[in-house]
């Protein structure tokens, strides 16, 4: 992929310096820039979710323990489903699906959420980006990736000429999360919550029919590749990068979560490679 001076400057601004043409896609093709000043996520809330996907993270823990406010402790851990999922999700159109998500009470997250976070972008976009779960800002605004991590994601997409707000399906992206409701205290999604929410994402994929799915972070990767990659839960995310996986027949590229990249700017260049791989598949 040819990058012009403006695109290179935009990447440098994000702390990604491209030294040589990017076509080779090798590790050496992208060098780590001096990390640009990058806002660090606050302890709770300010940039919401911490994101997962560092190369050495154990599968079921975060690198930084997530504090839980005392008042939220009683409700913070996964609660049993209070009501079943609608039976006909697999037959729903976009609007019915969005309405079903807005009224969903299939797990305990419905009790603490302010808004459901269905997804954003063109409903015929060729790219689907899947994150983990809404954080505080997303819960307040009802839109995925609206904090600092989202800004980084938007900026990286911009270099590729893509945006969540584009009306042009060829340039737009659709962004959704594995979970549609915020886990209180930004804790990790619980397995039963992922299980309950899965039919919604599955239906979004079926309706969107994307040409490529970019799975960002450990929970997106585990949810999308659980049936196609044996032992996906125990593999470091880095081992799944650089290959093309499949979900329901759609090519899947694995990358780091943008919140992880804010904390680990030296891995931004690898994330840029992942986006280039996705772009090359188009």
Residues near ligand URA (CB under 6 A) are 48-49, 51, 131-135, 138, 144-145, 149, 177, 259
Q: Which is nearer to ligand URA, 154 or 273 (CB)?
A: 154
Closer residue to ligand URA in complex, CB, 30/133: 133
Residue 225 near residue 240, CB atoms below 8 Å: yes
Any long-range contacts for 190-195 (C-beta under 8 Å, 24+ apart)?
A: 190/77, 190/78, 192/78, 192/81, 192/107, 193/78, 193/107, 193/108, 193/109, 194/219, 194/222, 194/223
Smallest distance from the beta carbon of 181 to ligand URA, in angstroms? 11
Closest approach, Cβ 2 to ligand URA, in A, equals: 31
Q: Which is nearer to ligand URA, 92 or 259 (CB)?
A: 259
Residue 134 CB, shortest distance to ligand URA, in Å, is 5
- Beta strands (DSSP E) in the chain are 16-18, 30-32, 120-121, 127-131, 173-177, 212-216, 245-247, 250-255
Q: Is 22 or 252 the residue whose CB approaches ligand URA more closely?
A: 252
Helix, strand, coil fractions of the chain, as percent rounded to 5: 40, 10, 45
Task: Report the alpha-carbon distance of residue 153 to residue 261 in Å, rounded.
Answer: 10
Which is closer to ligand URA, CB of 22 or CB of 154? 154
250 C-beta neighbours (distance < 10 Å), count: 17
| 33 vs 76 by CB, closer to ligand URA | 76
- Residue 1, Cβ density class (10 Å: 0-12 exposed, 13-18 middle, ≥19 buried): middle
Closer by beta carbon to ligand URA, 100 or else 262 = 262
Task: Give the CB-nearest residue to ligand URA.
Answer: 131
For residue 144, the minimal CB distance to ligand URA (Å) is 3
* Cα–chain center distance at 67: 22
Compute the distance between CA of residue 129 and CA of residue 162 in angstroms, rounded to an integer. 12
Task: Give the nearest distance from C-beta 178 to ligand URA in angstroms.
Answer: 8
What is the nearest approach in angstroms of ligand URA to the Cβ of residue 33? 24
The alpha-helical segments, DSSP class H, found in 85-190 are 94-102, 109-112, 136-141, 148-159
Nearest partner of 8 among 190, 269, 245, judged by Cα: 269
């Amino acid at each position: 992929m040819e990058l012009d001076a403006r695109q290179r400057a935009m990447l440098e601004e994000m702390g990604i310096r491209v030294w040589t043409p990017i076509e080779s896609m090798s590790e050496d093709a992208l060098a780590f820039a001096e990390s640009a000043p990058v806002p660090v996520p606050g302890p709770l809330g300010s940039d919401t979710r911490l994101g997962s996907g560092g190369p050495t993270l154990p599968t079921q823990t975060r690198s930084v323990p997530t504090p839980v406010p005392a008042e939220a402790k009683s409700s913070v851990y996964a609660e049993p489903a209070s009501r079943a999922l609608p039976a006909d999700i697999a037959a729903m159109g976009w609007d019915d699906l969005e309405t079903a998500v807005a009224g969903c009470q299939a797990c305990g997250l419905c009790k603490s959420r302010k808004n459901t976070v269905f997804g954003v972008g063109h409903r015929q976009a060729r790219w689907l980006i899947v994150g983990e779960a809404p954080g505080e800002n997303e819960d307040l605004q009802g839109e995925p990736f609206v904090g600092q991590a989202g800004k980084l994601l938007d900026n990286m997409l911009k270099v590729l000429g893509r945006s969540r707000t584009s009306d042009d399906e060829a340039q737009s992206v659709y962004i959704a999360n594995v979970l549609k409701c915020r886990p209180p205290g930004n804790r990790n999604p619980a397995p039963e919550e992922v299980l309950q929410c899965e039919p919604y994402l599955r239906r979004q994929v079926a309706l969107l029919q994307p040409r490529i799915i970019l799975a960002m972070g450990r929970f997106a990767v585990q949810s999308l590749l659980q049936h196609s990659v044996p032992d996906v839960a125990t593999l470091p995310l880095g081992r799944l990068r650089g290959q093309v996986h499949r979900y329901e027949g759609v090519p899947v590229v694995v990358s780091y979560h943008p919140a992880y990249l804010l904390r680990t700017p030296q891995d931004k260049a690898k994330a840029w490679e992942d986006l280039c791989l996705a772009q090359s598949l188009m």
